[in-house]
């Protein structure tokens, strides 16, 4: 609380720019330890707007104008709030308070450590067991006579950014594991990500080898050999380096690099060319700017889109996933994926491949499992990448944003293949940044254990599961051919479009647009009810259940000052002779 200079300011005007609001509403602004809260004066609505401090990515204070000072709050979920504060003094105080509150320095300041939903201790502990990774490995048939659990990383001895429980080829002895880990960046040795039961091929992951120009390591070579042998159907493996080849070569000068095909027998090296986190950070900034353009022409918009490079990057990640999935499903060849440290691009490529390979990961629970495995347990650096604490801004990058967007692009291409809808992806996106739950806190399993997060915070997954009704795609149909087996997406450029739902809130909430999905959800719900009624009361008299009205809320009232504004601006000045 010591950072709050002024807890309450009256007669403040707030404009939610991202919701397409055009007129600021007047009300009172409150600062709490966790939220900025704005309550409208209008006695009829008393609408409240809550903004979590951890969702604020920047607070700007443009020069004061005669009408008073203003603050611009940009949020990590791409919402933008404009706050007009009459007294300059108050403005300064709010600005200073928010600037500090939105940049926590210690984990202890984060919301999840004070967030206390109404659940008891047992429920909280239970919440952490909601996702069971071992059960998922079992579901994919592991362990078996090819893949076994290894205790080598117990107590995080070998690799402190890996989970303690891992699966490796049966022939990989602890000596090989330890030896290989010494030859890999951050000790991240090759381990199993996904096992494909149909072909017995596997997706494995690791970090780059410390090969430099000529270094080699016998154990590492044996490790890759073991990977190859763990797939009886193939006599080679693919090593997918997800970096552009040039970057990988440059790494050799720093004693790192990629596998030398002369030293490793039976590998095929493949570069994919996903750019690094710095390129992605600036690319996302550009696409955010595109989303914020007020009334761009079609040309401005398409140029902006091209210039941001964003869709190109999304395509590269999807292409990487497609390559891995094809190798595993079509060729029956195992794949080892790495980038530099093996926690960003590698996580992207592996998890996209899993989504393509296994329908389970296209369900609500399956996506949770997948994120828990390839991202949370394998040490994706959530706290660094999503700026949970005020640290090095060069560590920040929208890595998981891109994964979620790949899933969204796929769901646009296969509308019946995913159990969840866009809202689910956006909810996950929000919680990756919000720090409301402990799930995404820290940078590795070890850090979370050391912080005793399971005792001090709640897991986000049970909450999302509880709300699954809202996240269900009514068109999901597992029996449909497009939903079954391996997804084979088209990755031609024309298949990608800007994710409006994420980057352009203004569009999303202008007077309720009709959503066929909401309508269909209502249809589906009502059909189920009717079906139940029918089975329960077979002898309902005719007309007994005939409430044949259209279900769901189907508003389409477009406010007069809604979207046709571009017209309004031009009006009133007709041409004169």
Partner 1 sequence: MEFAEHIKTANVEDVVLRQPLQPPSRGTLCITGHHLLFSDREESDSRQVLLLLRNIDATEKSVENLTGYSGFFSNASHSERMSGSSGTITMKCKDLRVLQLDIPGMEQCLNIAHSIETLSCLDCVSEMYPFFYRPVELSLPEQWGLSSPEMHYSQMKELYEKWRLSTVNRDYSVCSSYPPAVIVPKSIDDDTLKKAAKFRQGGRFPVLCYYHKKNGMVIMRSSQPLLGANRKRCKEDELLLQAVIEGSDKGYIIDTRSRQQAQQARMTGGGFESKSFYSRWKRFHRPMERGKALQESLIKLVEACGDESNNMDRWLSKLENSKWLSHVQNALSTAGLLVECVERDGHSVLVHGSEGTDCSLLISTLAQLIMDPCCRTVEGFLGLLEREWIQARHPFQQRCAHSAYSHARLQQESPVFLLLMDCVWQLWRQFPLALGFSEALLLRLATEVYASDYGTFLCNSDQERCALGVKERTHCLFQALLRPTQRDYYSNPLYERTELAIWPSVHPQSLQLWKGYFLRWTQQVRHLEEAQEEIRNMVIEWGKLACS
Q: How far is the CB of 480 from partner 1 (least distance, A)?
A: 6
Q: Which two tokens stand for residue 53?
A: 């401090």
Q: How far is the CB of 234 from partner 1 (least distance, A)?
A: 27
Dihedral angle sign, alpha carbons of residues 118, 379, 485, 474: positive
Dihedral angle sign, alpha carbons of residues 445, 451, 453, 455: positive
8-state DSSP, 444: S
Q: How far is the CB of 571 from partner 1 (least distance, A)?
A: 7
Q: For residues 388 and 162, what is the distance between their CA atoms, to the nearest angstrom?
A: 20
Beta strands in 116-253 (DSSP E): 147-150, 166-169, 191-196, 201-205, 237-241
Q: Would you tell me how many other CB atoms lie within 10 Å of the CB of residue 453?
A: 21
Report the residue from 115, 360, 414, 465 that binds partner 1 according to the rule CB under 8 A. Answer: 414
Residue numbers 135-194 binding partner 1 by CB under 8 A: none
Site string (257-296) toward partner 1, x via CB under 8 A: ----------------------------------x---xx
Q: Which two tokens stand for residue 19?
A: 């919701």
Q: Which of 206, 217, 339, 350 is catalytic?
A: 339
Report the residue from 312, 449, 454, 456 that binds partner 1 according to the rule CB under 8 A. Answer: 312
Asked if 18 and 79 count as a contact pair (C-beta separation under 8 A), the reply is yes
Residue numbers 430-469 binding partner 1 by CB under 8 A: none
Q: For residues 277 and 399, what is the distance between their CA atoms, to the nearest angstrom?
A: 7
67 binds partner 1 (CB under 8 A): no
Report the residue from 145, 490, 535, 536 that binds partner 1 according to the rule CB under 8 A. Answer: 490
Residues 6+ apart with CB under 8 A from 325: 352, 353, 356, 357, 486, 487
Q: How far is the CB of 247 from partner 1 (least distance, A)?
A: 19
Tokens 């380096």 appear where? 241
* Cβ-based nearer residue to partner 1, 271 or 519: 519
Q: For residues 577 and 574, what is the distance between their CA atoms, to the nearest angstrom?
A: 10
* Cβ-based nearer residue to partner 1, 67 or 297: 297
Report the residue from 110, 453, 498, 502 that binds partner 1 according to the rule CB under 8 A. Answer: 498
Name the residue among 171, 111, 22, 9 with its Cα closest to residue 509.
22
* Cβ-based nearer residue to partner 1, 250 or 480: 480
* Cβ-based nearer residue to partner 1, 276 or 510: 510
Is residue 342 annotated as involved in ligand binding? Answer: yes
Asked if 74 and 60 count as a contact pair (C-beta separation under 8 A), the reply is yes
Is residue 344 annotated as involved in ligand binding? Answer: yes
Q: How many residues bind partner 1 (CB under 8 A)?
A: 74
Report the residue from 482, 484, 509, 553 that binds partner 1 according to the rule CB under 8 A. Answer: 482
- The number of residues in the chain equals 577
Report the residue from 88, 105, 235, 300 that binds partner 1 according to the rule CB under 8 A. Answer: 300
Is residue 345 annotated as involved in ligand binding? Answer: yes
Q: Which two tokens stand for residue 195?
A: 């096992």
Q: How far is the CB of 570 from partner 1 (least distance, A)?
A: 7
Q: How far is the CB of 416 from partner 1 (least distance, A)?
A: 5
Q: For residues 558 and 210, what is the distance between their CA atoms, to the nearest angstrom?
A: 60
* Cβ-based nearer residue to partner 1, 110 or 317: 317
Q: Which two tokens stand for residue 500?
A: 């409006």
Report the residue from 200, 217, 305, 317 that binds partner 1 according to the rule CB under 8 A. Answer: 305
Asked if 283 and 308 count as a contact pair (C-beta separation under 8 A), the reply is yes
Report the residue from 413, 451, 467, 470 that binds partner 1 according to the rule CB under 8 A. Answer: 413
339 classed as catalytic: yes
Residue numbers 538-567 binding partner 1 by CB under 8 A: 545-548, 550, 554, 556-558, 560, 562-564, 566-567
Angle between helices 422-434 and 399-413 (to 10 degrees): 170
* Cβ-based nearer residue to partner 1, 218 or 555: 555
Binding-site residue set: 276-277, 339-345
Binding-site residue set for substrate: 276-277, 339-345
Catalytic (active-site) positions: 339
């Amino acid at each position: 609380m010591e950072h709050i200079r002024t807890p309450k300011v009256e007669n403040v005007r707030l404009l939610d720019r991202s919701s397409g609001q055009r007129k600021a509403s007047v009300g009172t602004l409150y600062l709490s330890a966790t939220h900025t809260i704005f309550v409208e004066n209008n006695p009829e609505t008393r609408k409240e707007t809550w903004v979590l401090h951890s969702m604020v990515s920047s607070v700007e204070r443009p020069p004061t104008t005669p009408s008073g000072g203003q603050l611009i709050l940009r949020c990590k979920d791409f919402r933008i709030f404009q706050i007009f504060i009459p007294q300059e003094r108050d403005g300064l105080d709010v600005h200073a308070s928010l600037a500090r509150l939105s940049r926590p320095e210690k984990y202890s300041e984060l919301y999840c450590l004070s967030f206390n939903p109404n659940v008891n201790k047992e429920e909280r502990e239970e919440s952490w067991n909601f996702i069971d990774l071992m059960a998922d490995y079992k579901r994919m048939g592991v362990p078996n006579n090819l893949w076994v659990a290894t205790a080598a990383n117990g107590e995080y001895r070998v690799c402190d950014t890996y989970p303690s429980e891992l699966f490796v080829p049966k022939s990989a002895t602890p000596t090989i594991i330890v030896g290989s880990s010494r030859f890999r960046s951050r000790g991240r040795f090759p381990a199993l990500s996904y096992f494909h039961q149909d072909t017995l091929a596997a997706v494995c992951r690791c970090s780059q080898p410390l090969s430099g120009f000529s270094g080699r390591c016998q154990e590492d070579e044996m490790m890759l050999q073991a990977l190859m042998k763990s797939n009886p159907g193939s006599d080679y493996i693919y090593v997918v380096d997800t970096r552009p080849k040039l970057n990988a070569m440059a790494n050799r000068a720093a004693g790192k690099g990629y596998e030398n095909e002369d030293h490793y027998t039976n590998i095929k090296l493949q570069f994919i060319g996903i750019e690094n986190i710095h390129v992605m950070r600036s690319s996302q900034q550009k696409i955010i700017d595109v989303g914020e353009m007020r009334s761009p022409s079609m040309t401005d918009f398409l140029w902006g889109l091209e210039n941001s490079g964003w869709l190109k990057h999304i395509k590269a990640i999807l292409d990487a996933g497609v390559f891995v999935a094809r190798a595993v499903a079509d060729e029956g060849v195992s794949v080892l994926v790495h980038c530099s440290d093996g926690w960003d691009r590698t996580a992207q490529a592996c998890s996209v491949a899993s989504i393509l390979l296994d329908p389970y990961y296209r369900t609500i629970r399956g996506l949770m499992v997948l994120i828990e495995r390839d991202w949370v347990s394998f040490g994706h650096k959530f706290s660094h990448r999503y700026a949970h604490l005020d640290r090095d801004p060069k560590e920040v990058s929208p890595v998981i944003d891109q994964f979620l967007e790949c899933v969204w692009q796929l769901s646009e291409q296969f509308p019946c293949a995913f159990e969840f809808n866009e809202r689910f992806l956006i909810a996950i996106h929000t919680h990756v940044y919000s720090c409301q739950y402990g799930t995404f806190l820290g940078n590795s399993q070890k850090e979370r254990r050391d912080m005793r997060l399971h005792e001090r915070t709640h897991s986000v997954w049970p909450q999302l599961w509880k709300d699954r009704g809202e996240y269900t795609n009514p068109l999901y149909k597992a029996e449909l051919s497009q939903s079954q087996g391996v997804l084979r997406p088209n990755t031609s450029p024309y298949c990608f479009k800007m994710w409006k739902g994420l980057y352009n809130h203004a569009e999303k909430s202008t007077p309720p647009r009709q959503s066929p999905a909401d309508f269909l959800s209502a249809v589906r719900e009502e059909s189920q009810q009717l079906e139940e009624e029918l089975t329960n009361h077979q002898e309902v008299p005719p007309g007994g259940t005939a409430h044949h009205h259209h279900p769901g809320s189907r508003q389409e009232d477009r406010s007069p000052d809604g979207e046709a504004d571009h017209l309004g601006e031009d009006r009133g000045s007709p041409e004169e002779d």
